[in-house]
Amino acid sequence: MLEVTSFGSTPDGAEAHAYTLSTAHARATVSDFGATLLGMEVPDRDGTFADVILGFADVKGYAGVNGSCYGGVIGPMANRTDRAEVPIDGTIYHLLGNDGANKENNLHSDLAHGLHKRLWDASYDEPTNTLVLSCSLSDGELGLPGNRTFTASYTLAEPEGGVAELTLRFGCTTDARTVVNMTSHTYVNLAGHAAGSVLGQTAVIDADTYLPLREDSVSEGFAEAVDDTPFDFRTPKALDTDIDADFEQLRRARGYDHCFCVRGYEPGAEPRHAMRLEDPESGRALDILITMPGAHLYTGNWCDDAEGVKDGASYHPRDGVAFEPEFYPDFPHHAEWDQPVCEPGRPYDQTIVYRFSTI
């Protein structure tokens, strides 16, 4: 079932909308502005519902600075790209320099004009309870080749009793060879979006290695084992267990802000399990399944928002956790890593599954 309401006016005067998908025991709300996941209402172990997604009350918050990129679909290039350069078939394409001490690197394509800052077209498929959003970029727009059409499709279902499953499927078609690395910048707090620190919640990440960062937060270009480091989440561990450990990688990022190399990646395979998050107090649990090679764990180290937040709340550092499935950051400069090439006859197609349950 779909409910559509106004979500306010964008800075250029266009009307944004909020689309709420419902099942018997869950509600997911998405905006056509940025294909943004605005909220997810799910029950705790006692049946009490709460919205567990951080975000703003209306489109003004998302259209403003929104430095934390709450809930948005990021693209065409997620994460950081060294020197803001993307080599494709011998040609260097230039992204916006917007990150690093001298703004020489790129972060998330364009924080002011990327996919999360655009109004997408929307349609609804009732038989599958799917909201389909689409957005186009012209050849060269945001620095990359190809006339491209991006899609973000949200499907809400209850595959079994006590489980709510939100599936987000990304797509891109193009008329020229290009690269695409989309992700969702959704922040979760299973105790409720306004519950404060998320650090007491327990995580498991299916990764034996992670990608260390340089001082400017660009990938070092190699994977390191998580063994005997604060990055070992292979068995359940509260997020606060090691986050303030005396460890150089944590110091550089003020906490976790790193890509994990999720086990079992195969191109074109079905979504595989990547992470489980549990909140001992509410009993809510979230399993995330992905098709991408990795996922970026970010503990909201820089979140600081007090105006325009939902329900009059305030967000502070570490009040939410983002787990952003992606191809490895700065992949254009590392040919040995999997490359998300998109070209005519070879569309980009990746999926994230958010599976909510209780313990």
Q: pTM of the predicted model, to two decimals? A: 0.98
* Residue 122 · residue 32 · CB < 8 Å: yes
Domains identified in the chain, total number? 1
Q: Return the number of other C-beta atoms located less than 10 Å from residue 11's C-beta.
A: 10
Domain residues for the domain of 267 are: 2-358
Q: What is the CATH number of the domain that holds 338?
A: 2.70.98.10
Residues 119 and 110: beta-carbon distance below 8 Å: no
Tens digit of pLDDT per residue, the chain (359 long)?
999 999 999 999 999 999 999 999 999 999 999 999 999 999 999 999 999 999 999 999 999 999 999 999 999 999 999 999 999 999 999 999 999 999 999 999 999 999 999 999 999 999 999 999 999 999 999 999 999 999 999 999 999 999 999 999 999 999 999 999 999 999 999 999 999 999 999 999 999 999 999 999 999 999 999 999 999 999 999 999 999 999 999 999 999 999 999 999 999 999 999 999 999 999 999 999 999 999 999 999 999 999 999 999 999 999 999 999 999 999 999 999 999 999 999 999 999 999 999 99
Q: What integer pLDDT is reported at residue 150 of this predicted model?
A: 99
Inter-residue contact 206 to 275 (CB < 8 Å): yes
Q: What is the pLDDT of residue 146?
A: 98
Which amino acid, 110? D
